[in-house]
Structure 1
Amino acid sequence: FDTPDTIKNAAKAAIDAGKTKYTAPDGIPELKAAVCAKFKRENNLDYVPNQVSVSSGGKQVLFNALMATLNEGDEVLIPAPYWVSYPDMVLIAGGVPVIAVARLENNFK
Protein backbone atom coordinates (compact mmCIF):
# COMPACT_ATOMS: atom_id res chain seq x y z
CA PHE A 1 0.00 0.00 0.00
CA ASP A 2 1.09 3.54 -0.55
CA THR A 3 1.92 5.78 2.38
CA PRO A 4 -1.10 7.99 3.19
CA ASP A 5 -0.81 11.61 2.05
CA THR A 6 -1.15 12.90 5.62
CA ILE A 7 1.98 11.00 6.62
CA LYS A 8 3.89 12.06 3.50
CA ASN A 9 2.94 15.70 4.03
CA ALA A 10 3.90 15.58 7.72
CA ALA A 11 7.27 14.04 6.82
CA LYS A 12 7.91 16.75 4.22
CA ALA A 13 6.95 19.48 6.70
CA ALA A 14 9.28 18.00 9.33
CA ILE A 15 12.16 17.97 6.84
CA ASP A 16 11.43 21.57 5.84
CA ALA A 17 11.37 22.54 9.54
CA GLY A 18 14.83 21.05 10.07
CA LYS A 19 13.65 18.14 12.22
CA THR A 20 16.31 15.86 10.77
CA LYS A 21 18.70 15.58 13.70
CA TYR A 22 19.15 12.99 16.41
CA THR A 23 16.49 13.10 19.10
CA ALA A 24 16.56 12.40 22.81
CA PRO A 25 16.85 8.64 23.42
CA ASP A 26 13.46 8.52 25.15
CA GLY A 27 11.60 10.54 22.51
CA ILE A 28 10.99 14.16 21.59
CA PRO A 29 9.12 16.21 24.20
CA GLU A 30 6.19 17.00 21.87
CA LEU A 31 5.57 13.32 21.17
CA LYS A 32 5.83 12.36 24.83
CA ALA A 33 3.32 15.09 25.71
CA ALA A 34 0.99 13.83 22.97
CA VAL A 35 1.23 10.28 24.37
CA CYS A 36 0.29 11.60 27.83
CA ALA A 37 -2.67 13.50 26.36
CA LYS A 38 -3.83 10.38 24.47
CA PHE A 39 -3.78 8.26 27.62
CA LYS A 40 -5.68 10.95 29.53
CA ARG A 41 -8.26 11.44 26.77
CA GLU A 42 -8.89 7.80 25.89
CA ASN A 43 -8.08 5.94 29.12
CA ASN A 44 -8.40 8.57 31.88
CA LEU A 45 -4.81 7.83 32.91
CA ASP A 46 -2.56 10.58 34.22
CA TYR A 47 1.07 10.51 33.11
CA VAL A 48 3.68 13.20 32.73
CA PRO A 49 6.28 13.19 29.94
CA ASN A 50 9.14 12.04 32.20
CA GLN A 51 7.14 8.82 32.79
CA VAL A 52 6.95 8.09 29.04
CA SER A 53 9.62 6.60 26.82
CA VAL A 54 9.19 6.35 23.06
CA SER A 55 11.22 3.64 21.35
CA SER A 56 11.92 2.59 17.80
CA GLY A 57 10.08 -0.70 18.26
CA GLY A 58 8.78 -3.25 20.70
CA LYS A 59 11.56 -5.79 20.28
CA GLN A 60 14.26 -3.17 20.71
CA VAL A 61 12.76 -1.81 23.93
CA LEU A 62 12.34 -5.37 25.28
CA PHE A 63 15.96 -6.15 24.45
CA ASN A 64 17.12 -2.94 26.13
CA ALA A 65 15.10 -3.79 29.24
CA LEU A 66 16.51 -7.33 29.35
CA MET A 67 20.08 -6.05 28.98
CA ALA A 68 19.53 -3.50 31.74
CA THR A 69 17.81 -5.71 34.29
CA LEU A 70 18.78 -9.37 33.94
CA ASN A 71 21.39 -10.98 36.11
CA GLU A 72 23.25 -14.03 34.87
CA GLY A 73 20.96 -17.05 35.14
CA ASP A 74 17.70 -15.13 35.71
CA GLU A 75 14.74 -16.98 34.25
CA VAL A 76 12.45 -15.12 31.85
CA LEU A 77 8.96 -16.42 31.16
CA ILE A 78 8.10 -16.25 27.44
CA PRO A 79 4.49 -17.03 26.48
CA ALA A 80 4.20 -19.17 23.35
CA PRO A 81 3.52 -18.59 20.59
CA TYR A 82 6.22 -15.92 20.61
CA TRP A 83 8.35 -13.93 18.21
CA VAL A 84 11.26 -16.07 17.04
CA SER A 85 14.02 -13.87 18.50
CA TYR A 86 12.71 -13.62 22.08
CA PRO A 87 14.59 -16.65 23.50
CA ASP A 88 17.85 -15.47 21.91
CA MET A 89 17.37 -11.98 23.31
CA VAL A 90 17.11 -13.51 26.79
CA LEU A 91 20.20 -15.67 26.22
CA ILE A 92 22.26 -12.71 24.97
CA ALA A 93 21.30 -10.80 28.13
CA GLY A 94 22.51 -13.71 30.28
CA GLY A 95 19.09 -15.06 31.15
CA VAL A 96 17.42 -18.42 30.77
CA PRO A 97 14.30 -18.51 28.57
CA VAL A 98 11.39 -20.48 30.03
CA ILE A 99 8.65 -21.13 27.48
CA ALA A 100 5.03 -21.17 28.71
CA VAL A 101 2.86 -22.69 26.01
CA ALA A 102 -0.55 -21.05 25.62
CA ARG A 103 -3.01 -23.64 24.31
CA LEU A 104 -6.23 -23.25 22.35
CA GLU A 105 -8.14 -25.44 24.80
CA ASN A 106 -7.29 -22.89 27.52
CA ASN A 107 -8.20 -19.90 25.32
CA PHE A 108 -4.46 -19.23 25.01
CA LYS A 109 -4.15 -18.52 28.73
Structure 2
Amino acid sequence: MPRYVRPNTAASLERVINAFGNLTKVAIIGHLREHGPSTRSDVAKALEIGVATAKHNLQLLADEGVVLEDPPATEERNGMRVRYTLVGSEVEQRYVELGRALGLN
Protein backbone atom coordinates (compact mmCIF):
# COMPACT_ATOMS: atom_id res chain seq x y z
CA MET A 1 0.00 0.00 0.00
CA PRO A 2 1.48 3.41 -0.95
CA ARG A 3 2.42 5.89 1.76
CA TYR A 4 1.24 9.44 1.41
CA VAL A 5 3.91 12.06 1.80
CA ARG A 6 3.09 14.68 4.40
CA PRO A 7 5.89 17.25 4.27
CA ASN A 8 6.32 19.71 7.10
CA THR A 9 4.73 22.73 5.40
CA ALA A 10 2.23 25.34 6.47
CA ALA A 11 -1.35 24.14 6.65
CA SER A 12 -2.37 27.19 4.61
CA LEU A 13 -0.56 25.68 1.62
CA GLU A 14 -3.32 23.07 1.39
CA ARG A 15 -5.72 25.91 0.48
CA VAL A 16 -3.38 26.94 -2.33
CA ILE A 17 -3.21 23.41 -3.73
CA ASN A 18 -6.98 23.06 -3.53
CA ALA A 19 -7.43 26.24 -5.59
CA PHE A 20 -4.65 25.79 -8.16
CA GLY A 21 -4.37 21.99 -8.06
CA ASN A 22 -5.35 21.16 -11.65
CA LEU A 23 -5.37 22.67 -15.11
CA THR A 24 -9.15 22.96 -15.26
CA LYS A 25 -9.35 25.05 -12.09
CA VAL A 26 -6.53 27.29 -13.27
CA ALA A 27 -8.22 27.73 -16.66
CA ILE A 28 -11.52 28.60 -14.97
CA ILE A 29 -9.80 31.15 -12.73
CA GLY A 30 -8.14 32.67 -15.79
CA HIS A 31 -11.42 32.78 -17.70
CA LEU A 32 -13.29 34.48 -14.87
CA ARG A 33 -10.45 36.95 -14.38
CA GLU A 34 -10.45 37.88 -18.04
CA HIS A 35 -14.18 37.75 -18.82
CA GLY A 36 -15.85 38.48 -15.49
CA PRO A 37 -18.90 36.75 -14.04
CA SER A 38 -19.98 33.73 -16.09
CA THR A 39 -22.40 30.84 -15.93
CA ARG A 40 -21.09 27.28 -15.94
CA SER A 41 -22.22 26.87 -19.55
CA ASP A 42 -20.32 30.06 -20.50
CA VAL A 43 -17.21 28.60 -18.86
CA ALA A 44 -17.69 25.19 -20.46
CA LYS A 45 -18.11 26.67 -23.92
CA ALA A 46 -15.14 29.04 -23.61
CA LEU A 47 -12.81 26.33 -22.28
CA GLU A 48 -14.21 23.57 -24.50
CA ILE A 49 -14.97 21.30 -21.55
CA GLY A 50 -18.13 19.50 -20.52
CA VAL A 51 -20.73 21.39 -18.52
CA ALA A 52 -20.53 18.72 -15.80
CA THR A 53 -16.76 19.26 -15.56
CA ALA A 54 -17.24 23.02 -15.34
CA LYS A 55 -19.95 22.60 -12.71
CA HIS A 56 -17.82 20.26 -10.59
CA ASN A 57 -14.74 22.48 -10.66
CA LEU A 58 -16.72 25.70 -10.12
CA GLN A 59 -18.33 24.09 -7.08
CA LEU A 60 -14.91 23.12 -5.71
CA LEU A 61 -13.67 26.68 -6.26
CA ALA A 62 -16.80 28.06 -4.57
CA ASP A 63 -16.27 25.73 -1.61
CA GLU A 64 -12.73 27.08 -1.37
CA GLY A 65 -13.94 30.70 -1.44
CA VAL A 66 -12.15 31.48 -4.70
CA VAL A 67 -15.39 32.16 -6.58
CA LEU A 68 -18.77 33.44 -5.42
CA GLU A 69 -22.08 32.06 -6.65
CA ASP A 70 -24.97 34.37 -7.49
CA PRO A 71 -27.50 33.47 -6.31
CA PRO A 72 -25.69 31.76 -3.42
CA ALA A 73 -26.21 28.06 -2.76
CA THR A 74 -28.10 28.97 0.41
CA GLU A 75 -30.93 30.49 -1.65
CA GLU A 76 -33.60 28.80 -3.74
CA ARG A 77 -32.43 28.60 -7.35
CA ASN A 78 -35.26 26.81 -9.16
CA GLY A 79 -34.30 27.20 -12.81
CA MET A 80 -32.11 30.24 -12.19
CA ARG A 81 -28.75 30.52 -13.90
CA VAL A 82 -25.95 30.71 -11.40
CA ARG A 83 -23.24 33.23 -12.22
CA TYR A 84 -19.76 32.72 -10.83
CA THR A 85 -17.54 35.66 -9.92
CA LEU A 86 -13.84 35.44 -9.13
CA VAL A 87 -12.73 36.63 -5.70
CA GLY A 88 -9.53 38.27 -6.90
CA SER A 89 -8.19 38.97 -3.42
CA GLU A 90 -8.39 35.24 -2.57
CA VAL A 91 -6.53 34.29 -5.74
CA GLU A 92 -3.83 36.90 -5.07
CA GLN A 93 -3.42 35.80 -1.45
CA ARG A 94 -3.04 32.15 -2.42
CA TYR A 95 -0.64 33.04 -5.22
CA VAL A 96 1.55 34.86 -2.71
CA GLU A 97 1.39 31.86 -0.36
CA LEU A 98 2.51 29.60 -3.19
CA GLY A 99 5.42 31.90 -4.00
CA ARG A 100 6.42 31.94 -0.35
CA ALA A 101 6.32 28.13 -0.16
CA LEU A 102 8.52 27.94 -3.27
CA GLY A 103 10.97 30.44 -1.78
CA LEU A 104 10.26 33.09 -4.38
CA ASN A 105 9.43 35.92 -2.00
| TM-score bracket relative to the smaller structure | under 0.3
Structure 1 length normalisation: TM-score? 0.22
TM-score of the superposed pair, with normalisation by structure 2: 0.23
Larger radius of gyration: 1
More helix per residue = 2
Higher-RCO chain (CA-CA 8 Å, sequence separation at least 6): 2
